[in-house]
Amino acid sequence: MKNKTLKLLSFGSMAVIIIAMVAATFVEKSRGTDFSFSLVYHNPAFIALWAIAAVSGLALLFKRGVKAFFTVLLHCAMVIMLIGALVTHLFSQEGMISLDKGVPNSTVVTDSGKNIELPFTMTLQEFEIERYPGSMAPSDYRSLVNLDDGSQLEISMNNIGKHMGWRMYQADYSDDLQTSILAMSKDVWGVGITYTGYLLLLVAMLGFFFQKDSQWRAALRKVTAAVALVLLPLFSQAAGNVQRPVAPKEVAKEIGELYVYYNDRICPLQTQARDYALKAYGKASVDGYTAEQVMTGWMFWYDEWQDRPLKVKAKEIGTSKEKEKYSVRDNAASGAAFKLFPLQAADNIRWFGSEDRLPEMEAGEEAFIRSSLSLLREEARSGNWDEVSRIVGQIKKYQEKNAASVLPSAAKVKAERAYNAICLPKVQFMLSITLGIIMFVLSGIWLSKGRKTPAKLARALAVVSWLLFAYLTAVLALRWFASGHMPFTGSYCVMMLIAWFSTLAMSLLYKKMPLLQPLGFLLAGFTMLMATMSSANPRLTHLMPVLQSPLLSIHVLSMMISYTLLGLAMLNGILGLIVKGREAKENLQNLSKVIVTPAVFLLTFGTFLGAVWANISWGSYWAWDPKENWALITLLVYAFSIHGTSIKAFRNPTFYHIYMIVAFLSVLITYFGVNLILGGMHSYA
């Protein structure tokens, strides 16, 4: 075949695959999963398209005489992965088995209702839920299973069982803990072939950056840019506060340092006070008072705080959201909201509020629990702050006596209090966006005129970027330490991570790539803004058991770095359309090429590492879930742009910049669109 025909077959079939996958995700939303699988994912025509793309792509590579080892290895690895996926599709078996305690079973039921008889029998000996210390939140689910050959398996989240080629995963359980439901899969060859492809792909991507005469190395050598002048804005807040009664700041702080069982974890009372203030008023600091002082105002002077308007949007009036805001304030005022008193239960330490139904106990202890908050209220209203501090101290001693084994360390409490104080980057995102916009506009003007930025100015901007980086590092580090797990899950963490990578990149590389400064400030600013909008209350929580795998942390990290780089390329594309002159546009195109290639490789690595994690966690490395599909769509969309030698359109700087802008829509849909519209297993991410 001629090169032109091979190009049409390889890139044309890949374009059709992208369109089919996009359509399938929306069809699944309206018509269901089974319909989308029959229409697209398991359709022989869809499988044939992948085969055409793979074979014609390899043929084109060899026909053009490409001898670069890692480039050839990369494409061969992709083909091996597709072969593994086909083997899995054709020959694997999977389904669910329900094990009742003490009852042998050997029947696996597939999604289609077909029964598969196992060559062995399984009997559930015990099922248990492990919980976080001092909490009812589950940290793991464990099934102890006896096999008919006398062996025994322990199966839990991220810890699979294996026997006679079958792999077993904890999937579900009954409320009475007498039944454990396991996901079963048997894939003798498919996983091994696919994993071989993953490994070769990793080697190829790493080697590619050391390969001479690649497009990426050529673009790296050509990268030049300019920087712009910037004015540092000053931010100030004017306050016209109405004075309301509250506890003195130091006394309120003492109250905020009490432990409380809140949101399925033990934390300082300050955390709950801050959450409640955010729910009621939309901000943690109200009228110049700390969240703890606001809480004491509700608790001790409810009548005086009733006229303080809550933040209720017009669309919330008369809805459950409006009622929730008022109930937050009312429950805090009565003390019903605060579970401050730990008691030893049969299986764990349980926490109670002063109005809860209490287990049997000595009369004096019950009187202490029932009367403590009332005494605090009386002494506070009388202004006896020394007595208030004494009562708070008694409650603290009671907590330490009854729950010493499960209380967080003093260092973790301090870290959480510090995190609560700095986790909402309002001034930071305003500063970053303002700097980014000013620099962005001036950079376009100056780049068109061939002007350079004064070195002193670039260094001054670098100081600001390092300060932002230090702030973001502190937020993420405090959250990591206080929560006990890496800050890689949830919309707030993801946005703050992207901001962190943006500030790090522009701080380290501004001398070699000055344009990273305006792009970095803009991306960091907008992602910090999204963090405050999408998660105005970035509370600390325990991780779900399935999310505790270290592979997940690396997966999320890779994806977030790639999204950060692709966001920079998108902003660079906008600048590329603004500037005048072909040379300036080409310089910006080279910068995007330097950014996009590692971004695509990281996206590839993150996507397939996520597949490995999924296989370990629930037995399937690819389930055609909307989030998985859109990650793959994004990968394929950007893969087109790194084939500039084969696709002439990408040699045109203007087209390239437009493509970078439009392609970023796939990133936005992958992260936001799937969560908000399409749903699926990953809608929490």
DSSP character string of 110-137: -TTS-EEEEEEEEEEEEEEEEE-TT-SS
CA distance 404 to 397: 10
CA separation for the pair 513, 502 (Å, rounded): 13
Question: What's the mean pLDDT in 298-314?
Answer: 84
Q: With pLDDT > 70 as the criterion, what percentage of the chain qualifies?
A: 90
In this predicted structure, what is the pLDDT of residue 541? 66
- Give me the pLDDT at residue 235, please: 32
In this structure, are residues 656 and 662 in contact, taking their beta carbons and an 8 Å threshold? Answer: no
Where does the pLDDT of residue 223 fall: very low under 50, low under 70, confident under 90, or very high at 90 and above? low
- Of the listed ranges 239-243, 348-352, 396-400, 632-636, the least confidently predicted one is 239-243
Using the structure block, give the residue that is written with the tokens 């005086």.
304
The pLDDT score that the predictor gives to residue 676 is 73
pLDDT of residue 9: 92
Read off the pLDDT of residues 438-448 as tens digits, 9 standing for 90 and up. Answer: 887 777 677 76
pLDDT, position 545:
59
Q: What is the pLDDT of residue 397?
A: 94
Average pLDDT for residues 261-270, to the nearest whole number?
A: 90
> pLDDT, tens digit, for every residue of 67-118?
788 889 999 999 999 999 999 999 999 999 999 999 999 999 988 889 999 9
pLDDT, average across residues 470-482: 92
Quick one: pLDDT at residue 91? Answer: 92
pLDDT given for residue 228 in this prediction: 31
Mean pLDDT to the nearest integer, 116-133: 90
What's the mean pLDDT in 284-294?
88
**pLDDT score of 225 more than 50:** no
Q: Is 137's pLDDT higher than 70?
A: yes
Lowest mean pLDDT among 171-185, 212-226, 472-486, 613-627: 212-226
- pLDDT of residue 317 exceeding 80, the answer is no
pLDDT value at residue 542? 63
pLDDT digits (tens, 9 = 90+) for 29-65: 888 888 999 999 999 999 999 999 999 999 988 888 8
The residue among 225 and 497 whose pLDDT is bigger is 497
Q: What is the mean pLDDT of residues 411-426?
A: 88
Mean model confidence pLDDT for the chain: 85
The b/e string for 195-213 (b: 16+ C-beta within 10 A; e otherwise) is bebbebbbebbeebeeeee
H/E/C letters for each residue in 236-252? CCCCCCCCCCCCCHHHH
Q: Tell which wins on pLDDT, 338 or 313.
A: 338
C-alpha distances in Å from residue 396, one per residue of 255, 260, 275, 335, 409 = 9, 10, 21, 16, 14
pTM over 0.75: no
Statement: residue 564 has pLDDT above 90: no
pLDDT band at 556 (very low <50, low <70, confident <90, very high): confident
Place of tokens 């359709």: 43
Lowest-pLDDT range of 243-252, 303-312, 313-322, 492-501: 313-322
Most confident range (mean pLDDT) of 151-165, 241-255, 579-593, 647-661 is 647-661
Q: In this structure, what are the phi and psi dihedrals at residue 652, rounded to the nearest 5 degrees?
A: -85, 120
Residue 269 scores a pLDDT above 90: yes
pLDDT for residue 106: 94
Segment 267-292 mean pLDDT: 88
In terms of DSSP H, where are the helices of 282-381? Answer: 291-300, 302-305, 320-334, 363-381
More reliable by pLDDT, 57 or 514? 57
Reported confidence tier of residue 543, pLDDT bands at 50, 70, 90: low
151's torsion region: left (phi>0), alpha (psi -120 to 50) or beta?
A: beta
Q: Which position has the higher pLDDT, 133 or 499?
A: 499
The whole-angstrom separation of Cα 293 and Cα 251 is 9
